[in-house]
Each structure stands twice: as C-alpha cells, then as structure tokens.
C-alpha cells in the first residue's frame, strides 16, 4: 500500500503531532508499506521519505506556538505532491489546521483518513464554524487520539470517530545508549513556556540536594528569563534543542524524568517515552497524563504549580531504590501497550476497510 501522511506542523520544530507522524511513517515502512510524509519544513528534512512543503509561520495556539504553513505556495506544493505520488490512502493529522492538511482535505483524490489530536476547541474550529463540519465530511474515516480529543472534534464537527492512541517507538528508547552522568540527574524536555511548567521545576530545585544535576532540553519564550534567574545554580545544564537520538540517550541516562506541566496536556506521550526508556517519572497530576500513567503505579503524580510537592517526589525517586525500580518495571510494560507498531497495525486495518 502507498500511504501519504500529511502533517499540519513544521517537522523542523519538535512537537507531539510531528513526532507521531514521523514515528508512524517509520513503523508503516517497517511493515512493508511505501510511506511518504508531506509537511512544512524550516530547513532540510530530518530524515528520508519527506516532501518539504515550505517554511512555517508561528501562530499562538492552545497556550503554545503552532508552526503552520497557511500560505498559497505551500498549498500548491501540497496539491502537486498529492498528484505526483498517486497515494492509495492520504492520512491527514489535524485535518482542519490551516495549511497542508486542509489543502489535502480539499484536493486529495485518494480515500482520506483524518486524525484529530487537539483537546479543547481551537481557532480553526471557531473560524470555520459550520463550514468545518462540511469539510470534515470529506474524510472517509475520522480518528481521535483520546477521549478528550474525540469529545472536542465531535462537539465542533459532529460525525463518528475511531478511537486510536498516540504511539511510542518503544525499541528506539529502550535500546538507546545511556548518556553518561556522574551525579543523580533530572531531565526536563519541552518548550520553555508557561504551559510546560519549567519554572515549577526550577523553583523545586531549591529543595533538592546539592549533588543533583538538572538537564534542561528545549527552548522557548521563557528561556532567557529563566536562565538569568538561575545563573548562579551550577547544577543546571541548559541543552537547547536536541536531536531525537540525544533525546532518547538523555532519557536513558537520567535518574528521574520530570514533566511539571501546568495545563493543556491532552496525552502524555512524553511520559510513555520515559517509560520506554525505563526512567522513573515525577509529573503533574493532569488529566492528559493520567490517561497513560496511574499515580504511584507508573509515575509519581503531584499537584500542578506545587514546587514543594514536586521536590518531594523527586527526592523519593532518588533515594528509594525499590520505588524507582517498581515504577521502571511497571512503566516499561505500560509503554509496550502504546507501541507505535501496534498503532501502525491499527491504522492499516482502517486503511484496508477503505479499499474493500
């Protein structure tokens, strides 16, 4: 089968939807299916099998920044790629986002599958109004990655949806070579913005032992301010944006993975990556995280915006070896339930239904 995956967001910018599209493409290829990703790119494609559709523009969305490509040049490149590739199935992620996915929704000749990731009504739903519901009828199959995403799409667009999930490439994280560290090390991964709660972790650092090391990956609007605020803390290492390979290695090398998000997490894919890498987790007790991690079973979950509670959870994981090992073991089994290969097989079943 020849599959076209269309991503609404720039692949050059790290993000949950982008990671899902690239991981799904790799799994589909491993299962023997020719797969090409069509997406905006703000530089050379990250890997083979990608058709770049042009540069993106940053747009505020859901408390973060969405790197979309709504300009006519990207639309024309999308239409040309869809016609040149002659896909058996076109699978669009965030179908109503302005740019390539919305263009594909209008222009694709092959059967269309759409996956909705968003939790909470976004600007696209508000702008399009009733037109959005009509456009969504172009989809032959609609999928949603969580109950919240399904409820959001259903309320805005109507229709019926297949329940799927976000997948994790288990082996890529489980088999990564651990990044070396000589001290107990905490890892933060994410955009430096209010939603991700990095400032909560930095406040918690005041209550952590002097020998702890803190790796902070990513960048964002808060980076300069938070670096200046913590300039005297030699325990903190600012990594900037890191590659996918380094991401996996840092997860394998860390002693604790910390996800202190304050709000807006629809699905805890980053927690699943940490589980696959077999690192114990301290995270905020948010609905999106509870969808993948049961408190005290797969992770220690603490109230958002509570540095003292976060520091206490991190200290427990660093000092209680039996607790850390129990969470590692349960987390590894939990991650296997969300394997990207299983997700690819689920989508292939849906694709096959379109060809009958």
**Span 226-277, pLDDT tens digits:** 999 999 999 999 999 999 999 999 999 999 999 999 998 878 899 999 999 9
Q: Write the DSSP symbol of residue 298.
A: T
Element at 253 (helix H, strand E): helix 244-253
Instruction: With CA atoms as reference, report the closest residue to 243 among 52, 57, 47, 49.
Output: 47
- Output the pTM of the full model: 0.88
**Structural domain boundaries in the chain:** 2-167+339-354, 170-336
* Domains 2-167+339-354 and 170-336 fall in the same CATH topology: yes
Residue 316 pLDDT = 98
Instruction: With CA atoms as reference, report the closest residue to 58 among 247, 225, 221.
Output: 221
Q: Within its chain, how far is the Cα of 267 from the centroid?
A: 8
Q: Within its chain, how far is the Cα of 161 from the centroid?
A: 21
What is 170-336's CATH number?
3.40.50.2000
- 200-235 pLDDT, tens digit per residue, is 999 999 999 999 999 999 999 999 999 999 999 999
Residue 340 pLDDT = 98
Determine contact, residues 125/155, Cβ cutoff 8 Å. Answer: no
Cα–Cα distance for residue pair 180/155, rounded to 1 Å:
48
Q: 66 forms bridges with which residues in the sheet?
A: 59
Instruction: Give the three-state DSSP class for 277.
Output: coil
Domain 2-167+339-354 has CATH 3.40.50.2000: yes
31, two tokens = 């299962």
Residue 114 pLDDT = 98
Contact residues for 233 (Cβ-Cβ < 8 A; gap 6+): 205
Q: Within its chain, how far is the Cα of 71 from the centroid?
A: 25
Determine contact, residues 93/7, Cβ cutoff 8 Å. Answer: yes
- 77-106 pLDDT, tens digit per residue, is 999 999 999 999 999 999 999 999 999 999
Determine contact, residues 328/279, Cβ cutoff 8 Å. Answer: yes
Q: Is the pLDDT of residue 343 over 80?
A: yes
In this prediction, residue 63 has a pLDDT band, given cuts at 50, 70 and 90, of: low
């Amino acid at each position: 089968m020849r599959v076209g995956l269309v991503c609404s967001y720039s692949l050059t910018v790290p993000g949950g939807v982008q990671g899902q599209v690239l991981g799904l493409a790799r799994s589909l290829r491993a299962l023997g299916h020719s797969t090409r990703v069509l997406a905006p790119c703000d530089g050379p494609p990250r890997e083979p099998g990608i058709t770049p559709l042009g540069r993106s523009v940053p747009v505020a969305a859901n408390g973060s920044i969405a790197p979309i490509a709504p300009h006519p040049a990207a639309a024309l490149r999308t239409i040309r790629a869809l016609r040149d590739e002659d896909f058996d199935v076109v699978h669009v992620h965030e179908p109503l986002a302005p740019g390539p996915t919305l263009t594909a929704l209008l222009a694709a000749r092959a059967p269309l599958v759409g996956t909705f990731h968003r939790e909470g009504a976004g600007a696209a739903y508000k702008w399009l109004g009733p037109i959005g519901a009509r456009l969504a009828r172009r989809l032959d199959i609609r999928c949603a990655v969580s109950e919240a995403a399904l409820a959001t799409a259903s309320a805005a667009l109507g229709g019926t949806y297949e329940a799927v999930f976000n997948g994790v490439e288990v082996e890529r994280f489980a088999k990564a070579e651990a990044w070396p560290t000589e001290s107990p090390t905490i890892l933060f991964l994410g955009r430096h913005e209010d939603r991700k709660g990095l400032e909560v972790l930095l406040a918690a650092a005041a209550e952590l032992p002097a020998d702890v090391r803190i790796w902070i990956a990513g960048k964002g609007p808060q980076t300069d301010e938070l670096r200046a605020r913590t300039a005297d803390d030699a325990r903190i290492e600012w990594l900037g944006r890191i590659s996918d390979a380094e991401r996996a290695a840092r997860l394998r090398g860390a002693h604790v993975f910390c996800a202190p998000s304050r709000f807006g997490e629809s699905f805890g894919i980053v927690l699943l990556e940490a589980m696959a890498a077999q690192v114990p987790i301290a995270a905020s007790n948010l609905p999106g995280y509870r969808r993948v991690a049961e408190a005290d079973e797969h992770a220690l979950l603490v109230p958002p915006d509570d540095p003292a509670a976060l520091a206490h959870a991190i200290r427990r994981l660093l000092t209680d070896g039996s607790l850390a090992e129990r969470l590692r073991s349960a987390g590894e089994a939990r991650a296997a339930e969300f394997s990207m290969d299983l997700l690819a097989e689920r989508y292939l079943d849906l694709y096959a239904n379109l060809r009958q």
